[in-house]
Amino acid sequence: MLEHNRGAELAETTPFIKVRDVHFSRGSKLIFDGVDMDFQRGKVTAIMGPSGTGKTTLLKLIGGQLKPSSGSIEVDGQNVHQLKRKQLYQLRKKMGMLFQSGALLTDISVFDNVAFPLREHTTLPESMIRHLVLMKLNAVGLRGARYLMPAELSGGMARRVALARAIALDPMMIMYDEPFTGQDPISMGVLVRLIRLLNNALGLSSIVVSHDVKETCAIADYVYLVSAGKVMEHGSPEQLANSDSEWSQQFMQGMADGPVHFHYAAEDYAKDLLGIES
Protein backbone atom coordinates (compact mmCIF):
# COMPACT_ATOMS: atom_id res chain seq x y z
CA MET A 1 0.00 0.00 0.00
CA LEU A 2 2.76 2.33 1.01
CA GLU A 3 4.80 1.29 -2.04
CA HIS A 4 1.88 1.97 -4.29
CA ASN A 5 1.42 5.45 -2.91
CA ARG A 6 5.06 6.24 -3.34
CA GLY A 7 4.88 5.15 -6.96
CA ALA A 8 1.88 7.34 -7.60
CA GLU A 9 3.60 10.25 -5.97
CA LEU A 10 6.69 9.75 -8.05
CA ALA A 11 4.60 9.78 -11.21
CA GLU A 12 3.15 13.07 -10.05
CA THR A 13 6.46 14.73 -9.46
CA THR A 14 8.90 13.38 -12.07
CA PRO A 15 8.27 15.33 -15.23
CA PHE A 16 7.30 13.45 -18.37
CA ILE A 17 9.74 15.43 -20.48
CA LYS A 18 12.91 16.93 -19.09
CA VAL A 19 14.87 19.43 -21.17
CA ARG A 20 18.25 20.20 -19.64
CA ASP A 21 20.68 22.91 -20.73
CA VAL A 22 19.96 22.48 -24.42
CA HIS A 23 22.06 24.38 -26.92
CA PHE A 24 21.26 24.33 -30.62
CA SER A 25 22.31 26.38 -33.63
CA ARG A 26 21.38 26.51 -37.28
CA GLY A 27 24.55 27.32 -39.19
CA SER A 28 26.03 30.29 -37.35
CA LYS A 29 22.67 31.34 -35.88
CA LEU A 30 22.33 30.39 -32.23
CA ILE A 31 18.76 29.29 -31.56
CA PHE A 32 18.90 27.83 -28.04
CA ASP A 33 21.44 28.96 -25.52
CA GLY A 34 20.91 26.76 -22.49
CA VAL A 35 17.23 25.96 -22.11
CA ASP A 36 15.77 24.04 -19.18
CA MET A 37 12.14 22.96 -19.18
CA ASP A 38 9.94 20.41 -17.46
CA PHE A 39 6.71 19.08 -18.89
CA GLN A 40 4.53 17.40 -16.31
CA ARG A 41 2.59 14.24 -16.91
CA GLY A 42 -1.09 14.75 -17.64
CA LYS A 43 -0.78 18.51 -17.89
CA VAL A 44 -1.07 21.03 -20.69
CA THR A 45 2.13 23.00 -20.98
CA ALA A 46 2.26 25.95 -23.32
CA ILE A 47 5.28 27.42 -25.05
CA MET A 48 4.87 30.97 -26.21
CA GLY A 49 7.30 33.37 -27.72
CA PRO A 50 7.90 35.67 -30.67
CA SER A 51 7.86 34.26 -34.18
CA GLY A 52 11.19 32.77 -35.22
CA THR A 53 12.54 32.06 -31.72
CA GLY A 54 12.63 28.33 -32.31
CA LYS A 55 9.41 26.93 -30.93
CA THR A 56 8.98 24.54 -33.85
CA THR A 57 12.66 23.70 -33.54
CA LEU A 58 12.13 22.77 -29.89
CA LEU A 59 9.35 20.34 -30.80
CA LYS A 60 11.61 18.76 -33.42
CA LEU A 61 14.35 18.40 -30.83
CA ILE A 62 11.93 16.65 -28.48
CA GLY A 63 10.77 14.39 -31.30
CA GLY A 64 14.37 13.45 -32.07
CA GLN A 65 14.34 14.88 -35.58
CA LEU A 66 17.06 17.36 -34.67
CA LYS A 67 19.96 16.84 -32.30
CA PRO A 68 21.07 19.46 -29.78
CA SER A 69 24.73 20.42 -29.87
CA SER A 70 24.82 19.92 -26.11
CA GLY A 71 22.41 19.20 -23.30
CA SER A 72 19.87 16.42 -22.98
CA ILE A 73 16.20 15.77 -23.57
CA GLU A 74 14.46 12.96 -21.74
CA VAL A 75 11.01 11.71 -22.64
CA ASP A 76 9.41 9.25 -20.24
CA GLY A 77 12.81 8.50 -18.71
CA GLN A 78 14.58 7.86 -22.02
CA ASN A 79 17.22 10.16 -23.44
CA VAL A 80 15.86 10.83 -26.92
CA HIS A 81 19.20 11.44 -28.56
CA GLN A 82 20.91 8.33 -27.25
CA LEU A 83 18.26 5.91 -28.40
CA LYS A 84 18.88 3.47 -31.23
CA ARG A 85 16.82 4.08 -34.31
CA LYS A 86 14.43 1.25 -33.46
CA GLN A 87 13.88 2.46 -29.92
CA LEU A 88 13.38 6.01 -31.13
CA TYR A 89 10.68 4.81 -33.53
CA GLN A 90 9.11 2.86 -30.70
CA LEU A 91 9.03 6.00 -28.59
CA ARG A 92 7.59 8.05 -31.43
CA LYS A 93 4.59 5.77 -31.65
CA LYS A 94 3.68 7.18 -28.27
CA MET A 95 4.16 10.78 -29.40
CA GLY A 96 1.60 12.56 -31.50
CA MET A 97 2.70 15.64 -33.33
CA LEU A 98 0.56 18.20 -35.02
CA PHE A 99 2.71 20.04 -37.57
CA GLN A 100 2.30 23.72 -38.21
CA SER A 101 1.53 22.95 -41.85
CA GLY A 102 -0.58 19.87 -41.17
CA ALA A 103 1.81 17.65 -43.15
CA LEU A 104 -0.99 15.47 -44.51
CA LEU A 105 -0.07 12.96 -47.20
CA THR A 106 -1.37 14.61 -50.33
CA ASP A 107 -1.87 11.51 -52.46
CA ILE A 108 -4.47 9.85 -50.21
CA SER A 109 -7.85 10.95 -48.90
CA VAL A 110 -8.68 12.41 -45.50
CA PHE A 111 -9.94 9.02 -44.35
CA ASP A 112 -6.78 7.23 -45.44
CA ASN A 113 -4.63 9.89 -43.83
CA VAL A 114 -6.20 9.28 -40.44
CA ALA A 115 -6.09 5.53 -41.02
CA PHE A 116 -2.41 5.69 -42.07
CA PRO A 117 -0.77 5.26 -38.62
CA LEU A 118 -3.30 2.56 -37.71
CA ARG A 119 -2.61 0.60 -40.87
CA GLU A 120 1.14 1.00 -40.48
CA HIS A 121 1.40 0.03 -36.85
CA THR A 122 -1.52 -2.27 -36.07
CA THR A 123 -3.06 -5.35 -37.61
CA LEU A 124 -6.61 -4.27 -36.83
CA PRO A 125 -9.28 -5.44 -39.27
CA GLU A 126 -10.55 -2.84 -41.73
CA SER A 127 -13.96 -2.62 -40.01
CA MET A 128 -12.31 -1.65 -36.75
CA ILE A 129 -10.07 0.88 -38.48
CA ARG A 130 -13.11 2.44 -40.10
CA HIS A 131 -14.75 2.71 -36.73
CA LEU A 132 -11.73 4.35 -35.11
CA VAL A 133 -11.14 6.74 -37.99
CA LEU A 134 -14.73 7.94 -38.02
CA MET A 135 -14.57 8.43 -34.27
CA LYS A 136 -11.45 10.58 -34.50
CA LEU A 137 -12.80 12.54 -37.45
CA ASN A 138 -16.04 13.11 -35.62
CA ALA A 139 -14.13 14.52 -32.67
CA VAL A 140 -12.67 17.25 -34.89
CA GLY A 141 -15.98 17.79 -36.69
CA LEU A 142 -14.84 16.51 -40.09
CA ARG A 143 -16.52 13.13 -40.38
CA GLY A 144 -18.36 14.45 -43.44
CA ALA A 145 -15.11 15.43 -45.15
CA ARG A 146 -13.66 11.94 -45.14
CA TYR A 147 -13.70 11.47 -48.92
CA LEU A 148 -12.02 14.77 -49.70
CA MET A 149 -8.40 14.94 -50.74
CA PRO A 150 -6.04 17.12 -48.66
CA ALA A 151 -5.79 19.62 -51.53
CA GLU A 152 -9.53 20.23 -51.22
CA LEU A 153 -9.31 21.27 -47.57
CA SER A 154 -8.83 24.75 -46.19
CA GLY A 155 -5.79 25.38 -44.00
CA GLY A 156 -7.82 25.18 -40.80
CA MET A 157 -9.56 21.98 -41.87
CA ALA A 158 -6.24 20.39 -42.81
CA ARG A 159 -4.91 21.13 -39.35
CA ARG A 160 -7.94 19.52 -37.75
CA VAL A 161 -7.51 16.39 -39.90
CA ALA A 162 -3.89 16.34 -38.82
CA LEU A 163 -5.08 16.46 -35.23
CA ALA A 164 -7.36 13.49 -35.83
CA ARG A 165 -4.38 11.65 -37.28
CA ALA A 166 -2.14 12.61 -34.37
CA ILE A 167 -4.57 11.04 -31.87
CA ALA A 168 -5.26 7.97 -33.99
CA LEU A 169 -2.78 5.78 -32.12
CA ASP A 170 -3.85 7.07 -28.68
CA PRO A 171 -0.43 8.49 -27.85
CA MET A 172 0.85 9.38 -24.39
CA MET A 173 1.63 12.90 -25.42
CA ILE A 174 0.77 15.33 -28.18
CA MET A 175 2.76 18.27 -29.41
CA TYR A 176 0.60 20.91 -31.02
CA ASP A 177 2.43 23.39 -33.25
CA GLU A 178 0.17 26.41 -33.58
CA PRO A 179 -3.14 24.54 -33.50
CA PHE A 180 -5.27 27.67 -33.49
CA THR A 181 -3.99 29.59 -36.50
CA GLY A 182 -6.49 29.66 -39.34
CA GLN A 183 -9.46 28.59 -37.23
CA ASP A 184 -12.68 30.56 -37.14
CA PRO A 185 -14.02 31.48 -33.67
CA ILE A 186 -16.32 28.46 -33.55
CA SER A 187 -13.80 25.79 -34.45
CA MET A 188 -11.25 27.62 -32.33
CA GLY A 189 -13.54 27.20 -29.32
CA VAL A 190 -14.10 23.55 -30.19
CA LEU A 191 -10.38 22.95 -30.56
CA VAL A 192 -9.51 24.62 -27.29
CA ARG A 193 -12.04 22.44 -25.50
CA LEU A 194 -10.92 19.36 -27.46
CA ILE A 195 -7.29 19.78 -26.44
CA ARG A 196 -8.31 20.12 -22.80
CA LEU A 197 -10.75 17.22 -23.09
CA LEU A 198 -8.21 14.89 -24.69
CA ASN A 199 -5.76 15.81 -22.03
CA ASN A 200 -8.16 15.04 -19.21
CA ALA A 201 -9.97 12.06 -20.66
CA LEU A 202 -6.94 10.19 -22.00
CA GLY A 203 -4.49 11.40 -19.39
CA LEU A 204 -2.24 12.77 -22.11
CA SER A 205 0.59 15.17 -21.61
CA SER A 206 0.23 18.04 -24.04
CA ILE A 207 2.58 20.68 -25.32
CA VAL A 208 0.92 23.59 -27.04
CA VAL A 209 2.94 26.06 -29.08
CA SER A 210 0.91 29.12 -29.82
CA HIS A 211 0.73 32.87 -30.22
CA ASP A 212 -2.86 33.09 -29.10
CA VAL A 213 -2.28 34.25 -25.55
CA LYS A 214 -5.90 34.27 -24.46
CA GLU A 215 -6.86 30.81 -25.79
CA THR A 216 -3.63 29.25 -24.67
CA CYS A 217 -3.81 30.64 -21.17
CA ALA A 218 -7.36 29.34 -20.91
CA ILE A 219 -6.21 25.73 -21.25
CA ALA A 220 -2.60 25.70 -20.12
CA ASP A 221 -1.57 24.53 -16.68
CA TYR A 222 1.89 25.92 -17.07
CA VAL A 223 3.46 28.37 -19.50
CA TYR A 224 6.99 28.91 -20.75
CA LEU A 225 7.80 32.19 -22.44
CA VAL A 226 10.79 31.77 -24.73
CA SER A 227 12.79 34.42 -26.50
CA ALA A 228 16.32 34.93 -27.82
CA GLY A 229 17.35 31.37 -27.08
CA LYS A 230 16.38 31.47 -23.41
CA VAL A 231 13.40 30.80 -21.21
CA MET A 232 12.37 34.30 -20.18
CA GLU A 233 9.58 33.49 -17.77
CA HIS A 234 7.67 30.49 -16.63
CA GLY A 235 4.79 29.81 -14.33
CA SER A 236 1.07 29.23 -14.29
CA PRO A 237 -0.99 31.56 -16.49
CA GLU A 238 -2.12 33.51 -13.41
CA GLN A 239 1.42 33.98 -12.21
CA LEU A 240 2.48 35.31 -15.60
CA ALA A 241 -0.49 37.61 -15.96
CA ASN A 242 0.29 39.11 -12.57
CA SER A 243 4.03 39.12 -13.04
CA ASP A 244 5.50 42.57 -12.96
CA SER A 245 8.32 41.68 -15.36
CA GLU A 246 8.19 44.02 -18.34
CA TRP A 247 8.83 41.09 -20.61
CA SER A 248 5.81 39.01 -19.76
CA GLN A 249 3.58 42.08 -19.60
CA GLN A 250 4.59 43.01 -23.13
CA PHE A 251 4.01 39.56 -24.49
CA MET A 252 0.78 38.85 -22.66
CA GLN A 253 -0.65 42.15 -23.82
CA GLY A 254 0.83 42.15 -27.30
CA MET A 255 2.61 45.49 -27.47
CA ALA A 256 5.18 46.22 -30.18
CA ASP A 257 7.50 48.20 -27.91
CA GLY A 258 9.27 46.80 -24.93
CA PRO A 259 12.11 44.44 -24.25
CA VAL A 260 11.11 42.14 -27.13
CA HIS A 261 11.80 43.48 -30.56
CA PHE A 262 9.18 43.04 -33.20
CA HIS A 263 11.84 43.38 -35.93
CA TYR A 264 14.30 40.74 -37.05
CA ALA A 265 17.82 42.07 -36.33
CA ALA A 266 18.48 44.68 -39.03
CA GLU A 267 20.44 47.77 -40.02
CA ASP A 268 19.31 51.17 -38.85
CA TYR A 269 16.06 51.87 -40.72
CA ALA A 270 16.98 55.33 -42.01
CA LYS A 271 20.37 54.15 -43.25
CA ASP A 272 18.75 51.14 -44.89
CA LEU A 273 16.27 53.32 -46.78
CA LEU A 274 19.07 55.53 -48.02
CA GLY A 275 20.86 52.44 -49.31
CA ILE A 276 23.92 52.71 -47.07
CA GLU A 277 25.31 49.23 -46.47
CA SER A 278 27.83 48.80 -43.70
Partner 1 sequence: MLSYLQRLGAVSISMFERLGRGSLFFVNIVFSVPSVIVRPRLLIAQMHSVGVLSFSLIVISGLFVGMVLALQGFYTLSDFGAEGMLGVMVSASLIRELGPVVTALLFAGRAGSALTAEIGLMKATEQISGMEMMAVDPVKRIMAPRFLAGLISMPLLATIFSAVGIVGGYFIGVGLLGIDEGGFWAQMQAKIDFSEDVMNGLIKSVVFGWVVTWIAIFEGYDAIPTSEGVGRATTRTVVHSAFAILLLDFILTALMFGDI
Ligand X SMILES: Nc1ncnc2c1ncn2[C@@H]1O[C@H](COP(=O)(O)OP(=O)(O)OP(=O)(O)O)[C@@H](O)[C@H]1O
Q: Is 31 in the site for ligand X (CB under 6 A)?
A: yes
Residue in 171, 141, 138 with CA at minimum distance from that of residue 156: 141
Nearer to Mg ion among residue 142 and residue 191 (C-beta): 191
What order do you get walking across the sheet with 29-39 strand by strand?
29-39, 17-26, 70-75, 78-79
Stretch that binds ligand X, among 45-53, 61-69, 89-97, 101-109 (CB under 6 A): 45-53
Choosing among ligand X, partner 1, Mg ion, none, which partner's interface includes residue 54 (Cβ < 5 to 8 Å by kind)? ligand X
Taking CB under 6 A as the criterion, the residue among 6, 12, 26, 253 binding ligand X is 26
Beta strands in the chain (DSSP E): 17-26, 29-39, 44-48, 70-75, 78-79, 95-98, 173-177, 205-209, 222-227, 230-235
Binding site for partner 1 (CB under 8 A): 60, 63, 65, 89-90, 92-93, 95, 97, 99, 101, 103-106, 116-117, 120-121, 165, 169
Amino acid identity for residue 122 in this structure: T
Whole-number Å distance between alpha carbons of 198 and 206? 9
The torsion defined by the Cα of 73, 77, 79 and 82, in degrees rounded to 10, comes to: -170
Choosing among Mg ion, ligand X, partner 1, none, which partner's interface includes residue 93 (Cβ < 5 to 8 Å by kind)? partner 1
Stretch that binds ligand X, among 50-58, 116-124, 181-189, 243-251 (CB under 6 A): 50-58
Closest approach of ligand X to the CB of residue 81, in Å? 18
